[in-house]
Amino acid sequence: MTDAQTHIDGKFPATEAKIEVEKVNTGDNGKDKILTKLKGKLIIKNRQNLTEIKFEDHELEELEIINCPNLTKINVGKNKLTKLDITKIKTTDGTDAGDAAPADKLTELRMANNADLEEASLEYCPKLKTLLATGCTKLKKITGLDNLKEIRTVAGVDHLISYIVSEKLDYYKEVVKYIRETLGLSNDKPLPKKPDGSLDKDKLKTDMENKIAGSANSERDQAKQEAQTAKAELTTAKAEKTNLENQLNAIKTELGVGNNANQQQIVAKIKELMGRPTSTHTDYDAIKSERDNLKTERDTLKTENARLKNDNKENVNPNTLRDNTKTNLEK
């Protein structure tokens, strides 16, 4: 077998417009004709001139194509693909690091007879006209089928249509479920019908409009009520704020700290008042002065008392008293 990546990178320059490799039994072993099949994983990227790829009847296992914006045809039929990634054939910034963008030149995809392929994405192939996928017996998921607005040729129609119908059916079920929930209908109650049993689209439209409008009116009324409540709460809050400001100003006046006093100054003044003695006097400074005067008077009296005691001691000296008494007796 021939390693696919090694052969393509080595034999086909980046400027090549077409990459086609055919397995032959005899002949020259060149770039487009080889004696053994291509095998393994293959990444083809950053080939601005590439318009066509053909690897039919090989044993490729994975193929990824990145940033080949002019590619129009891909043929990978009859391989052993388990992965086919063509979501980034074109990128947003023209490099292999860019995000996926619609490959608006790809018109043909042939991937038939890849029995192990389980999934494919056509999400970025809006211009696809030919799609061949017969023999892909394990194919379970094909995304982007709704984007194929220009599809003309489809092989394996029954197999592919089942995916389209399944996706559409799930979508319509979700739509009907939403309509029922919006109208408040139970599962056993049908949508509006005409006398002939067909869907009454006009009545359904009117019912939906009325329901949505009613819901909008209800939400508007609720919002209006909430706004009024908020306004009333704001008015109350403003009144409470004004009341607190008036109380604070009254406290400042009573403390004598002035209207511009801050919290720290007010607290300091309160602590100062708490440390003063209780008295009927209103002038603390006068009380303090009276106390000092009384202390001075007390000290003066103590001094005078001490002086008098000294004088008395001198006047009643025991020796003097004995001599005086003896003299008087002798007389």
Residue 329 has pLDDT above 70, yes or no: no
**What's the per-residue H, E or C state across the chain?**
CEEHHHHHHHHCCCCCCEEECEECCCCCCCCCEECCCEEEEEEEECCCCCCEEECCCCEEEEEEEECCCCCCEEECCCCCCCEEEEEECEECCCCCCCCEECCCCCCEEECCCCCCCCEEECCCCCCCCEEECCCCCCCCEEECHHHCCCCCEEECHHHHHHHHHHHHHHHHHHHHHHHHHHHCCCCCCCCCECCCCCECHHHHHHHHHHHHHHHHHHHHHHHHHHHHHHHHHHHHHHHHHHHHHHHHHHHHHHHCCCCCCCHHHHHHHHHHHHCCCCCCCCCHHHHHHHHHHHHHHHHHHHHHHHHHHHHHHHHCCHHHHHHHHHHHHHC
pLDDT in tens, 2-13: 999 999 999 999
Residue 79 has pLDDT above 80, yes or no: yes
pLDDT in tens, 296-309: 777 777 777 766 66
Q: With respect to CATH, is domain 2-155 assigned 1.10.4160?
A: no
pLDDT in tens, 191-247: 888 888 787 888 888 888 887 776 667 777 777 788 788 888 888 888 888 888 888
Map out the domains of the chain as residue ranges: 2-155, 281-307
pTM of the model: 0.52
pLDDT in tens, 176-191: 788 888 888 887 777 8
Q: What pLDDT does 183 receive?
A: 80
